Amino acid sequence: MARLALGVDLGGTNARAAVVDMGSGEIVAAHKEPLRDRTPERVVAHVRHAVQEATAAAECGVDECGRAGVGVAGQCLGTTGLVLNAPNLGWRDVPLGAMLEAALGVPVTVANDLSVAAWGEKKFGAAKGIDDVVLVFVGSGVGSGLILGGRLHQGAQGLAGEFGHVKVHPIRPTTAARRCGCGEWGCLEAYTSGMNIAARVREELAAGAATLVRDLCGGEPGRVSATLVDDAYTRGDAYAVELWGEVGELLGTNMANLVTVLDPARLILGGGVMLGCPGLAALARRRFDEAVSRSALKGLSVERAWLGDDAGVIGAALLE
């Protein structure tokens, strides 16, 4: 009989639980539960329900899985199960591990969602069989997951991989500066994540910017997205060309610096902005190729993430 494991992907809008075959990495059954309420107690109840549905569909008990792994979009003190800061959930210092252990009745391991996704890709995806891997994610947020020497590198506290919070711009408030969701100034994420790009474009549209994006969103600021900017860029819109030049340079240079320092064999690219905006991705890639150390580049292959949204539950299930 297949050895089964339980993985949970806890994002800002949904909790998804899956029973995963540890031998093949296949999802035996999964259940997604919208988070109608984001208080820790209600979220734990949502996770519990998602787990019950998934295990019922897989015809196995939580006990049979023995333990559960959880990936959370936020800063997690890995060893303790404490979520320090999860902006999408509005959480600070939530003892998620202990709460879930009480609710599920099995040991629970909590880790950052991108560390978990990198681990999923390592076990059954684009990093299989490779010991040194950097996964860079550019979607609603920006971050990374690091597989170093064949192991998931979570750092001394479990906070490693915070690529979105490297400082790339003035770290003190200025008129042009954007504040990051983490509360600090100058973070890469504040300038390059899908949410921050959309917010900036909406502000600049409101301030009268001349751009095709205005037409593409049909005059509805709520429809502005990185994908729309990429459409405008592809059509040669000057505003989009300038914005993408800036964002592509920031992403490319900082991905290059990560590779220069860590010398991975593979760089995996994931996230809705990176995979859904081909114009931006090409600009970032060109800049990356120019900025990365020649020697590090020689040993590197670049690959798109394979597992997509499944990386979270698969990686979480297989956390060690």
Residues engaged in binding its own copies (CB under 8 A):
75, 84-85, 130-132, 144, 146, 148-149, 151, 153-163, 165-167, 171-172, 182-184, 186, 253, 256-258, 260-265, 290-291, 293-296, 298-300
* Min dist. Cβ of residue 161 to its own copies (A): 7
Nearer to its own copies, 36 or 298 (CB): 298
Q: What is the DSSP letter of 179?
A: B
Contacts of 193 (CB under 8 A, 6+ apart): 138, 139, 140, 141, 142, 164, 273
Burial class (CB in 10 A: 0-12, 13-18, 19+), 222: exposed
Nearer to its own copies, 92 or 235 (CB): 92
Helical (H) or strand (E) element with 10: strand 4-10
* Min dist. Cβ of residue 170 to its own copies (A): 10
The identity of residue 110, as a single letter, is V
- The neighbouring-strand residues paired with 29 are 19
CB 6 within 8 A of CB 67: yes
Nearer to its own copies, 225 or 254 (CB): 254
Q: How far is CA 224 from CA 1, 11, 121, 133, 228, in A?
A: 49, 22, 31, 33, 6
Q: What is the DSSP letter of 255?
A: H
* Min dist. Cβ of residue 162 to its own copies (A): 5
Nearer to its own copies, 162 or 237 (CB): 162
Nearer to its own copies, 93 or 242 (CB): 93
